[in-house]
């Protein structure tokens, strides 16, 4: 009976290690498949090269980095204020019952598959930008044109997609601020608005920051939505109405027809993406750890 | 302070309050509007095109005509494979974390990498699945390659959900069982796990939701064949991939909306189910 229990314990430990093993395998295979071409081409030329023309053997991914960065920053610019506002609304303004309803609505937003977001962007947002937003831009710059497939389209859709991450984590952080802080602030004569902006949000800072970092990670890693609406042109963009190609979108689109070397180059793009995401996730975890004590 | 001054201060404060609450309310309303518009738009455009024919016929002419029967079957196969593989491992991991581990370095490392796995983007899983399952292990574009890749993706979800519900089982249950002479494993199987059925089920449902909605990883590991899969080693197509193919190639507006609407309906059902179980869990 005892050996039986021991065996079971070992099996369970093995299962618990599965996730760690997966991460190791993923790292090994991505790097092994992508590093050779990166080394051949030169790491600097690969990352800083401004021409991505795989059919010509030119693998400069700077345009892809610029594409990912511009779409992500756009999404954050829209998503951060909206997300924090929703979190405050949930934690401090709405009564518990409607708050629960609002929360499940946000969860629903997180459950919609990314390809559906992409499709919605394709049939609604892209034409809307072409027909309604472009004329507004043309008032200031008559030469500007757009197909609608643009940074703006990607940023708006990504902003909606990262909202659930930002809202739920920020809301938790705000709700975790001890009631004494709030009571003390109110007792000193501050009104509710002042308490929210000057006491609660600063006290919940670490949670809010890590929610933003995780949201950023989601935006950078998102594939299908941006693939359908950013236009996939590997050029350095000049305005928010320009088409861009992202790291993720390029991998997804070109993998199906890539030649062997091209495929390796796409794996190298994967390495860059992998490293960026790892750094972001690490930062998020460290932020929680370092600033975590403050709220307590 | 004179009366005039406090009056002005009060007015200034109430104006600032108005702006503050106005902006917050507006942004929250905007978020809600996004949800309603996206779901409403796709359902309104797509529901009319979903009928028995669409569900029961195989796609013809690359999906321009016919239905999506083989795609539905493909989705079920891939999802099933991933769930069958990930569920036992996920539950066992959670049991390890809550029942066996002492908070040491090893546990910290394992926990950390489980978090890391949850943060890896799906396209990276796709690349990995392609390099490892499809090419290295020679499984080709197939249900099994996709199912294995997906099982890695949903593993953290399952582990977390199970762990959360294991934590809610009172210590006294375990003590009672152990003091009656049951072994640790008997206690886990007969006492602890039955209490967590709703929590595990919620994790399972969320995992299914993720598997059904996943696109990028599936595209690179399952391929896009429209034929009905007859074995685990056949290539197939899931609904999400089908939606992408239809949308990106503009094959048929009607079929695209119908596929998107079907996906939304599944998501709605999954969310409702998870919520209902969650509520039951709360009242227990």
User: pLDDT tens, B143-155?
Assistant: 999 999 999 999 9
B101 has pLDDT over 70? yes
Query: Percent of chain A, pLDDT > 70?
Result: 97
Is B138 in the A-facing interface, judged by CB distances under 8 Å?
Answer: no
Note the pLDDT tens digit of each residue in A41-57.
Answer: 999 999 999 999 988 88
Per-residue pLDDT, B265: 95
Is A283 in the B-facing interface, judged by CB distances under 8 Å?
Answer: no
Q: How many CA atoms lie within 13 A of B84 on its CB side?
A: 11
Least confident of A170-184, B95-109, B152-166, B179-193: B95-109
CA–CA dist B145, B54 (Å, integer)? 28
Is A127 in the B-facing interface, judged by CB distances under 8 Å?
Answer: no
B50 has pLDDT over 50? yes
CA–CA dist B221, B86 (Å, integer)? 17
Task: Answer whether A213's CB lies under 8 Å from A286's CB.
Answer: no
Between A155 and B107, residue with greater pLDDT: A155
Task: Choose among A53, A191, A152, A167: nearest CA to A102.
Answer: A167
Mean pLDDT across A163-173:
94
* B13 and B115 both lie in a single domain: no
Per-residue pLDDT, B277: 83
What secondary structure does DSSP assign to A193-218, as a single string? HHHIIIIIHHHTHHHHHHHHHHHHHH
Residue with tokens 């009672």: B176
Whether the pTM exceeds 0.90: the reply is: yes
Task: Answer whether A204's CB lies under 8 Å from A295's CB.
Answer: yes
Per-residue pLDDT, B62: 79
What secondary structure does DSSP assign to A89-144, as a single string? IIIIIS-HHHHHHHHHHHHHHHHS-HHHHHHHIIIIIHHHIIIIIHHHHHHH-TT-
Contact A113 B263 (CB under 8 A): yes
Most B CBs within 10 A among A3, A18, A229, hence the mutation to make, goes to A18
Note the pLDDT tens digit of each residue in B128-137.
Answer: 999 999 999 9
Query: Percent of chain B, pLDDT > 90?
Result: 58
Contact A102 B32 (CB under 8 A): yes
Mean pLDDT across A130-146:
91
Contact A15 B93 (CB under 8 A): yes
Rounded alpha-carbon distances, angstroms, from residue B225 to A53, A54, B98, B154, B211: 29, 26, 43, 24, 18
Least confident of A221-230, B49-58, B214-223: B49-58
Per-residue pLDDT, A287: 81
Mean pLDDT across A14-28:
94
Mean pLDDT across B72-95:
95
Task: Answer whether A124's CB lies under 8 Å from B41's CB.
Answer: yes
State the angle between helix axes of A247-254 and A260-291 in degrees (0 to 180), rounded to the nearest 10. Answer: 150
Contact B20 A191 (CB under 8 A): no
Q: Which residues contact A172 (CB under 8 A, 6 or more apart)?
A: A207
Contact B24 A119 (CB under 8 A): no
> Vertex A166, ends B152 and A212: CA angle to 5°?
90
* B29 and B98 both lie in a single domain: no
Most A CBs within 10 A among B21, B116, B129, B210, hence the mutation to make, goes to B116
CA–CA dist A191, A187 (Å, integer)? 9
* B86 and B14 both lie in a single domain: no
Comparing CB atoms, the residue among B27, B155, B212 nearest residue A19 is B155
Rounded alpha-carbon distances, angstroms, from residue B229 to A78, B71, B74, B149: 43, 9, 7, 18
Per-residue pLDDT, B275: 82
B244 chain-A contacts, CB cut-off 8 A = 115, 118, 224, 227-228
Most A CBs within 10 A among B128, B245, B258, hence the mutation to make, goes to B128
Comparing CB atoms, the residue among B25, B92, B117 nearest residue A16 is B92
* B14 and B114 both lie in a single domain: no
CA–CA dist A82, A90 (Å, integer)? 12
Q: In which band, very low, low, confident or very high, does the pLDDT at B284 lie, cut at 50, 70 and 90? A: very low
Is A91 in the B-facing interface, judged by CB distances under 8 Å?
Answer: no
* B151 and B270 both lie in a single domain: yes
Question: How high is the mean pLDDT of chain A?
Answer: 92
Is B32 in the A-facing interface, judged by CB distances under 8 Å?
Answer: yes
Overall number of domains in chain B: 2
* B225 and B264 both lie in a single domain: yes
CA–CA dist B39, B260 (Å, integer)? 10
Task: Choose among B124, B267, B123, B121: nearest CA to B206.
Answer: B267
Q: Measured in whole angstroms, how far is the alpha carbon of residue B253 from the centre of its chain?
A: 27
Comparing CB atoms, the residue among A1, A29, A112 nearest residue B38 is A112
Task: Answer whether A23's CB lies under 8 Å from A256's CB.
Answer: no
Task: Choose among A242, A246, A209: nearest CA to A226.
Answer: A246
* B45 and B155 both lie in a single domain: no
Overall number of domains in chain A: 1
CA–CA dist A151, A232 (Å, integer)? 10
Q: In which band, very low, low, confident or very high, does the pLDDT at B2 lie, cut at 50, 70 and 90? A: low
Residue A248, domain CATH:
1.10.3720.10
Question: How high is the mean pLDDT of chain B?
Answer: 90
B251 burial via Cβ count (<10 Å: 0-12, 13-18, 19+): middle
Is A128 in the B-facing interface, judged by CB distances under 8 Å?
Answer: no
B251 chain-A contacts, CB cut-off 8 A = none
Q: In which band, very low, low, confident or very high, does the pLDDT at A296 lie, cut at 50, 70 and 90? A: very low
For A237, the enclosing helix (H) or strand (E) is none
Mean pLDDT across B190-209:
90
ipTM: 0.92
SS3 state of residue A145: coil
Interface of B with A in 250-279 (CB under 8 A): 256, 260, 263-264, 267-268, 270-271, 275
Is A4 in the B-facing interface, judged by CB distances under 8 Å?
Answer: yes
Residue with tokens 């696109």: B215
In this structure, the strands spanning B59-60 and A58-59 are unpaired
B142 has pLDDT over 80? yes
* B37 and B77 both lie in a single domain: no
Q: How many CA atoms lie within 13 A of B16 on its CB side?
A: 11
Residue B137, domain CATH:
1.10.3720.10
Domain containing residue A178: 2-295
Note the pLDDT tens digit of each residue in B213-239.
Answer: 999 999 999 988 888 888 899 999 999
* B32 and B146 both lie in a single domain: no
* B134 and B271 both lie in a single domain: yes
Task: List helix spans (H) across B196-252.
Answer: 197-213, 216-222, 239-249
Q: In which band, very low, low, confident or very high, does the pLDDT at A294 lie, cut at 50, 70 and 90? A: very low
| Shortest CA gap B55–chain A (Å) | 19
> Which residues are registered as beta bridge partners of A231?
A244
* B189 and B132 both lie in a single domain: yes
* B244 and B197 both lie in a single domain: yes
Domain containing residue B268: 52-283
Q: Which residues contact A152 (CB under 8 A, 6 or more apart)?
A: A74, A129, A133, A240, A241
Q: Where are the beta strands (DSSP E) in chain B?
A: 59-60, 65-66
Q: Which residues contact B281 (CB under 8 A, 6 or more apart)?
A: B165, B198, B199, B202
Note the pLDDT tens digit of each residue in A54-77.
Answer: 888 899 999 999 999 999 999 999
Mean pLDDT across B75-90:
95
């Amino acid at each position: 009976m005892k050996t039986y229990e021991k065996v079971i314990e070992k099996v369970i430990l093995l299962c618990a290690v599965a996730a760690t093993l997966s991460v190791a395998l993923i790292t090994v295979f991505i790097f092994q498949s992508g590093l050779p071409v990166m080394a051949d081409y030169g790491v600097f030329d690969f990352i800083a090269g401004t021409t991505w023309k795989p059919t010509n053997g030119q693998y400069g991914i700077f345009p892809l980095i610029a594409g990912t960065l511009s779409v992500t920053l756009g999404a954050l610019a829209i998503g951060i204020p909206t997300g924090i506002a929703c979190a405050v609304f949930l934690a401090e303004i709405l009564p518990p019952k409607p708050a629960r309803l609002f929360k499940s609505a946000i969860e629903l937003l997180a459950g919609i598959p990314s390809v559906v977001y992409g499709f919605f962007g394709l049939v609604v947002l892209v034409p809307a930008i072409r027909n309604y937003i472009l004329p507004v831009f043309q008032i200031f710059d008559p030469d500007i044109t757009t197909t609608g497939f643009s940074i703006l389209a990607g940023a708006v859709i990504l902003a909606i997609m990262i909202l659930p991450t930002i809202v739920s984590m920020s809301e938790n952080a705000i709700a975790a601020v001890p009631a004494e802080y709030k009571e003390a602030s109110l007792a000193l004569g501050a009104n509710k608005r002042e308490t929210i902006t000057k006491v609660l949000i600063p006290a919940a800072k670490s949670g809010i920051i890590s929610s933003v970092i995780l949201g950023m990670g989601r935006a950078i890693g998102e594939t299908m939505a941006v693939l359908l609406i950013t236009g996939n042109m590997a050029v350095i963009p000049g305005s928010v109405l320009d088409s861009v190609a992202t790291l993720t979108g390029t991998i997804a689109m070109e993998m199906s027809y890539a030649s062997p070397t091209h495929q390796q180059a796409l794996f190298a793009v994967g390495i860059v993406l992998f490293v960026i995401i790892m750094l972001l996730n690490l930062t998020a975890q460290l932020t929680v750890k370092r600033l975590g004590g403050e709220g307590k | 302070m004179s009366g005039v001054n406090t009056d002005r201060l009060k007015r200034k404060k109430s104006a600032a309050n108005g702006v503050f609450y106005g902006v917050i309310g507006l942004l929250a309303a905007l978020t809600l509007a996004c949800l309603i518009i996206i779901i409403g738009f796709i359902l309104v455009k797509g529901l009319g095109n979903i009928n028995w024919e669409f569900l029961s016929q195989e796609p013809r002419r690359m999906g321009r005509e016919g239905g999506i029967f083989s795609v539905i079957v493909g989705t079920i196969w891939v999802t099933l494979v991933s769930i069958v593989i990930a569920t036992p491992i996920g539950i066992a991991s959670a049991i390890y974390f809550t029942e066996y581990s002492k908070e040491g370095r090893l546990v910290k490392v394992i926990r950390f990498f489980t978090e890391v796995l949850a943060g890896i983007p799906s396209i990276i899983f796709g690349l990995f699945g392609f390099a490892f399952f499809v090419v290295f292990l020679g499984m080709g574009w197939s249900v099994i390659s996709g199912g294995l890749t997906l099982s890695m993706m949903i593993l953290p979800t399952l582990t977390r959900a199970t762990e959360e519900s294991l934590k809610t089982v009172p210590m006294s249950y375990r003590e009672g069982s152990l003091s009656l002479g049951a072994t640790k494993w008997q206690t886990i199987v007969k006492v602890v796990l039955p209490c967590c059925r709703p929590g595990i089920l919620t994790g399972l449902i969320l995992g299914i939701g993720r598997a059904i909605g996943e696109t990028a990883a599936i595209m690179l590991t399952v391929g896009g064949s429209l034929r009905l899969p007859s074995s685990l080693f056949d290539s197939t197509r899931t609904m999400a991939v089908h939606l992408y193919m239809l949308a990106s190639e503009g094959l048929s507006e009607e079929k695209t909306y119908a596929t998107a609407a079907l996906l939304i309906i599944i998501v709605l059902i999954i969310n409702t189910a998870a919520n209902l179980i969650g509520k039951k869990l709360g009242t227990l």
